[in-house]
Amino acid sequence: MLGVEAQKPPKGKWTTAPFDPRFPNQNQTRNCYQNFLDYHRCVKAMNRRGKSAQPCEYYFREYRSLCPISWVQRWNQQIQDGTFAGKI
């Protein structure tokens, strides 16, 4: 037992990604990818208008919970290299 404190969940409200009727089937790849795109598009649009990117947090949490970490890492690397295929 490594200490009771360490085994309690961190404080705050933690919800799983809600059901998105746009992606009703078992294969949730598109769900992950769409939220990843939407987060980056949201941030870009907010920055262009000089507003805070706080509302974009929702998409961030969605794709972080849905997407495999390796995909996120790969896509972020592609964005850095300028080889990301999606339209952001």
Binding residues vs other proteins (CB under 8 A): 29-30, 33-34, 37, 71, 75, 85-87
Report, in Å, the least distance between residue 31 CB and other proteins: 11
Q: Which is nearer to other proteins, 36 or 56 (CB)?
A: 36
Report, in Å, the least distance between residue 64 CB and other proteins: 16
Transcribe 13-81 into DSSP letters: ---PPPP-TTS-SS--HHHHHHHHHHHHHHHHHHHHTT--SGGGHHHHHHHHHHS-HHHHHHHHHHHHH
Q: Which is nearer to other proteins, 33 or 60 (CB)?
A: 33
